[in-house]
A and B are shown apart, each in its own frame.
Chain A
């Protein structure tokens, strides 16, 4: 390698894109994991179509994986890319608008066929010219045929060989950013060890061939991104769905209650169920239910029986679960419902991100039916909020809705592994034996939580259900005054959890000219945008919310302190509407987007500087 030619960069954004069967998600994951192992800051953004094998060669069928690596902590996947790997003309066309000026484009030359150009909707035979890429560093290596050549001796069939072209492209990128291939090799070897070791070898050979090709031609700059200066510790790469699953397992360990998850597969939440199903060694029981309703109902049953019960879903599934969620509110059982939000309404955009289930989480049930709502902000802090949601659910005997979204669920980042000794013990109000005078199922403690007396405990036999309860005995009551009392008690119980959550923090000055307000999965983008403007001398601050219902105790005072407040969310203004309802007379600007895509830093900084004018 010509080391004298290496330039260094603090940030690099690479986007891998191709047909949805081209293996772009794997290619991107291998690149980002390799970089994470080198100590870079990482943020990833898988962006793929809803179809498993969408129509080949079409713009709609393009699957992308963007990875942002940095020599510092990285908390967003980047708006625009420095390098675009496009396995066909459609991928180039679909991602044209995400290219940084002067970016490097690597397009598989073998894919420029009349048929592919037609499918991608090009009018001419020169996609580079047609897309106005003259000023860009466009390299058009014959990736498919070079892969074929390199693997000719493997004895594999044509189809299997061509499938390795994504690894050839990965090899090129490994050269460009000076990454070792060990992690990828190790991954491929173990993945195909049993099934087909020859495939593993072929893929590894393709990485080498791509690397050699890039090293031998002088078309690629060699760029080095130094490791980030991160806090000392043991790190791993983690995505939001796995972190959510692990947060629940941690809460199970800290509470001593076995973990139960009844769930039904739904994009983009399924990975949580898959991950939990793996960890039977830690006592996790999973039921893949017959539908969304059975998912939550089996969990409610498990909660009644004394387990830490969770159910996982996305927007349409939350709609189906709403009646049962009401039962959990009425029966006052601990339960966590995870909603990995996606674009809606209805089936909407299953693989795209959005924050439009907030109102559904807060209010989408019959009757006065309060539940705690919390939201996680990044892939790794899904762990913390899953743990916290479970803690609140069990200690306060209430259902909790945990909102994440497709972006943080699928995205990954390096995570400094915590020690479980740093996490608090969870102490649910379990009733072991009947007190003198008999057990009263709806007697409450200082948190207003009722006792958790599960079947199998002698002398605690009692009946609960969805009918209104007598405020103490728990038997059916149609008494008007009792209903009034119970409605307000259930609301007060949820409101009182505010005493057990941290106050809202602000990033930036208390007297900034503009306060940016966000919640949930947009933190990375909002934080980067606000930080950037602060560096440029703007008077701007960020309050990013994780506790939605109840809001932290200092929320009103905090919001009223700022002259100008803008609420940014990936919906049409649900959090803003909620804040207005909670705090009368609050004037809020809004910045909303429902494109199924995360915010970009550029659009945020533009909006904020305009508001600061």
Chain B
């Protein structure tokens, strides 16, 4: 069905209160642009969109959407969203969360929602810092990062969210950059279309407490062209302004090559297969770190899996209902052994 919504249909009357220059503005913009497209593509009317968040700057997101929204407690958005989706699989349920929210305090719910393959769309804002509490290191902060709680630098290694998602056998994993609004939008649309849990990590800039944390590879368009690679299913893994750099697989490793140099031809470059069930290559792509590799963007993994949790729960209810002799509570109370007095 054609609903012909516009981004304005998804804007609430609340004043957006993120800091000027915060990457969150761009993500809000991308989501509000994606929803009209998703509504038409998947026949989802406006009142079925439900946004859930935890705690953190990113979690304020839901107040700026004119949809159903639930701003929950720190780390628990994935659990609350699981309950919403299981209770009503008809809804399009979105989780807006951050690196602190989903990878630290809510790490358990995050991996288990992925493991269950609940049909949620998770947008993980990764700014590698705790912003709302004013600048403490997060589980994605780089080793050695100096923050208020690590004045001499952190001594713990960060998570790579993509590796975590794929490690938990997530069926959909994408990555974008806040400034790449159209790519973020594309990931949202693909994630929504995916049956099962979709996780899109958005590399987001916290202009106040962790400015330019992604700038080395994502600072401006020219930098991004040379230092990131946007993956598309069925397309060659090429990048660079001249599209002359590519990824090949050699000695069980990914390798960056330049076409026409060292004997490498276009044919040698890998073709992206996001639908491959095996996680090996997807993990390698998600794990690529600048400066050794370009940072992978786009849909890294999108695998069809019939075992979608909320659908399975609903299907079991229907199966048992069809065959059970218990049709109402009176039947239940009289089931099993009873006697008359």
Contact = CB atoms under 8 A, between A and B. Distances in A.
Interface of A: 33, 36-37, 39, 183, 227, 230-237, 246, 249-250, 253, 258, 260, 262, 279-285, 287, 289-291, 293-294, 297-307, 309, 323-324, 326-327, 331, 416-420, 454-467, 475-476
Contact of A250 (B45, B323, B329): B329
Contact of A294 (B68, B79, B316): B79
A225 B14 CA distance: 73
Nearest to B324: A281
Given A234-B338, A282-B328, A456-B90, A301 B79 contact: yes
B70 interface: yes
Task: Report the 5 A-B pairs with minimum CB-CB distance, sorted nearest first.
Answer: A301-B83, A465-B71, A281-B324, A298-B83, A297-B79
B341 A457 contact: no
B47 interface: yes
A467 B338 contact: no
Interface size band for B: 35 or more
Contacts of B48: 455-456
A420 B330 contact: yes
B333 A301 contact: no
B192 interface: no
B70 A465 contact: yes
A232 B341 contact: yes
B83 to A, nearest CB: 3
A309 B71 contact: no
A457 B80 CA distance: 19
A457 B84 CA distance: 14
Interface of B: 12, 14, 45-48, 50, 52-53, 55, 62-63, 65-73, 76, 79-88, 90-91, 108-109, 112, 313-314, 316-317, 319-321, 323-324, 326-330, 332-334, 336-341
B71 A420 contact: no
B337 A236 contact: yes
> Which of B108, B320, B341 has the most C-beta atoms of chain A within 10 angstroms of its own C-beta?
B341
A488 B320 CA distance: 46
B340 A282 contact: no
Contact of B320 (A227, A280, A476): A280
7 contacts: A234-B339, A249-B332, A280-B321, A297-B83, A298-B80, A300-B72, A304-B80
B81 A301 contact: yes
A461 B72 contact: no
Nearest to B320: A280
B109 A297 contact: yes
Given A36-B339, A455-B91, A466-B73, A282 B326 contact: yes
Nearest to A298: B83
B329 A294 contact: no
B83 A260 contact: yes
A456 B88 contact: yes
Nearest to A475: B14
Nearest to A416: B341
A294 B12 CA distance: 29
Majority SS at the chain A contact face: mixed
Contact of B340 (A234, A249, A418, A467): A234
Given A36-B339, A279-B332, A461-B67, A299 B47 contact: no
Contacts of B63: 463, 475-476
Given A283-B317, A458-B45, 20 more contacts: A37-B337, A236-B339, A281-B324, A282-B326, A282-B329, A285-B313, A287-B83, A290-B112, A297-B72, A301-B52, A301-B84, A301-B87, A306-B88, A327-B73, A420-B329, A454-B88, A455-B88, A464-B69, A464-B70, A466-B55
A306 B108 contact: no
A443 to B, nearest CB: 17
Contacts of A232: 341
B86 A260 contact: yes
B112 A463 contact: no
A398 to B, nearest CB: 17
Nearest to B10: A461
A249 B329 CA distance: 7
Nearest to A421: B330
B14 A302 contact: no
Contact of B76 (A234, A236, A297): A297
A212 to B, nearest CB: 26
B333 A236 contact: yes
Contacts of A298: 79-80, 82-83, 86
B155 to A, nearest CB: 28
A281 B70 contact: no
B187 to A, nearest CB: 23
Nearest to B74: A323
B82 A327 contact: no
Nearest to A245: B332
Contact of B333 (A246, A281, A285): A246
A37 B317 contact: no
A260 B68 CA distance: 20
Given A281-B320, A290-B109, A291-B108, A231 B73 contact: no
> Which of B108, B109, B332 has the most C-beta atoms of chain A within 10 angstroms of its own C-beta?
B332
Contacts of B62: 463, 465
